[in-house]
Amino acid sequence: MNWDDTNDTAASERLVESVADREDQAVEAALRPKDLGEFIGQEKVREQLDLVLRAARARGATADHVLLSGAPGLGKTTLSMIIAAEMEAPIRITSGPAIQHAGDLAAILSSLQEGEVLFLDEIHRMSRPAEEMLYMAMEDFRVDVIVGKGPGATAIPLELPPFTLVGATTRAGLLPPPLRDRFGFTAHMEFYEPGELERVVHRSAALLDVEIDAAGAAEIAGRSRGTPRIANRLLRRVRDYAQVKADGRITQDVAAAALAVYEVDARGLDRLDRAVLEALLKLFGGGPVGLSTLAVAVGEERETVEEVAEPFLVREGLLARTPRGRVATPAAWSHLGLTPPRSQAAGNGQGDLFGA
């Protein structure tokens, strides 16, 4: 194969991936709730947000700035769109990594319409100069645009129309207090209970015109890691399996068989999760072992293990962070059907388990 053929193949693969991504995004958009009444779960957040929006509408005012924090896939983007819909306002969507200079933010803010909702995802990753400009924009609806450099530089004040900023973050602790304090309403999104996820699965199945029974929905919900986005993704893959391997109807047996094909076990662990646990147990005797060493053992980047696999494993009580490294819990040995070394069975080496 020559260089041109290689380039053509790579370009074709990127095109296929791009088309698949667009299709997935289109399906996800179709499954998003359109108002607070359709939104499942997060009862307290919905109640509080409903009061904020209804009061703003009654006053004929722009809604207060909103900060949504929580793990990925819990509905922060969906809620931002609902806020715009409830306020009958347009929405502008951007992200913290896309705003690396104050000028980037000034360009966005200066083009906002009155009452518009600006959704800023991953707000904790915005650059410091842009962050400082945002303080004044949120509080006074004004920004100072610097023209020129050095001693001759001048600040030109630019008035902004009232707008609502909806910030989303997975790491609220990284937000500086001056920025966090400027939000009129803050909410933390919690992981979903299995019963709530079953409702999500039933709703999405109806929208996708997929027949599913209660046991099938429960099977998918139980493997969705408390996250609606994952529940919807697993539902789509089980739908594919049901159409090809069964009669198109999703039952508990069909869901279990489909998820086995996609390497999602009964507890929701996927291939990467199991690889991390197996390496920790089989190669390192349950730990403690450093994160970088563990990442090398499974052939992944350190950040992937730390940000993708580890939070779920810790939350499930299968892995613990200790001052000396990562340690498997007794539940991890049990889940993989392995017997811990005698020292661990006796409790040795686990003294730091709850001290991290």
Q: Give the pLDDT confidence of 226-240 residue by residue, as tens digits.
A: 899 999 999 999 999
- 77, 164, 251, 329: the active-site residue: 77
Hey, what CATH topology would domain 271-345 get? Arc Repressor Mutant, subunit A (1.10.10)
What local confidence, expressed as pLDDT, does residue 155 receive?
66
CA 72 to CA 228: how far, in whole Å? Answer: 10
Instruction: Determine if residue 265 is labeled as part of a ligand binding site.
Output: no
- 76, 223, 225, 239: the active-site residue: 76
pLDDT in tens, 134-171: 888 888 888 776 665 656 566 677 888 899 999 999 88
Strand blocks (E) in 177-285: 185-188
Provide the residue ranges of all domains of the chain, joining segments of one domain with +. Answer: 32-188, 194-261, 271-345
Task: Assess whether 76 carries a catalytic annotation.
Answer: yes
Is 338 strand, coil or helix?
A: coil
Instruction: Determine if residue 192 is labeled as part of a ligand binding site.
Output: yes
Task: Assess whether 186 carries a catalytic annotation.
Answer: no
Task: For 194-261, give the CATH class.
Answer: mainly alpha
What local confidence, expressed as pLDDT, does residue 230 receive?
92
pLDDT in tens, 296-315: 888 888 888 888 888 888 88
What local confidence, expressed as pLDDT, does residue 321 receive?
86
What local confidence, expressed as pLDDT, does residue 168 receive?
92
pLDDT in tens, 51-67: 999 999 999 889 999 99
Task: Assess whether 270 carries a catalytic annotation.
Answer: no
CA 334 to CA 345: how far, in whole Å? Answer: 12
Instruction: Determine if residue 141 is labeled as part of a ligand binding site.
Output: yes
Instruction: Determine if residue 140 is labeled as part of a ligand binding site.
Output: yes
Task: Assess whether 8 carries a catalytic annotation.
Answer: no
Instruction: Determine if residue 299 is labeled as part of a ligand binding site.
Output: no
- For the beta carbon of residue 50, count every other beta carbon within 10 angstroms: 14
Length of the chain equals 356
**Does 194-261 match 32-188 at the fold level?**
no
Instruction: Determine if residue 321 is labeled as part of a ligand binding site.
Output: yes
- 62, 164, 169, 170: the active-site residue: 170
Q: Which of 43, 311, 326, 63 is nearest to 171 (CA)?
A: 311
Instruction: Determine if residue 193 is labeled as part of a ligand binding site.
Output: no
Task: Assess whether 62 carries a catalytic annotation.
Answer: no
What local confidence, expressed as pLDDT, does residue 147 receive?
61
Token digits for 165? 């900023």
Helix and strand counts by DSSP (H, E) for the chain: 16, 9
Instruction: Determine if residue 324 is labeled as part of a ligand binding site.
Output: no
Instruction: Determine if residue 44 is labeled as part of a ligand binding site.
Output: no
pLDDT in tens, 336-349: 887 877 655 545 44
Output the pTM of the full model: 0.79
- 46, 121, 169, 251: the active-site residue: 121
- 46, 223, 225, 229: the active-site residue: 229
- Residue 182 has φ and ψ, to the nearest 5°, of -85, -5
Hey, what CATH topology would domain 32-188 get? Rossmann fold (3.40.50)
- Tell which wins on pLDDT, 196 or 28: 196
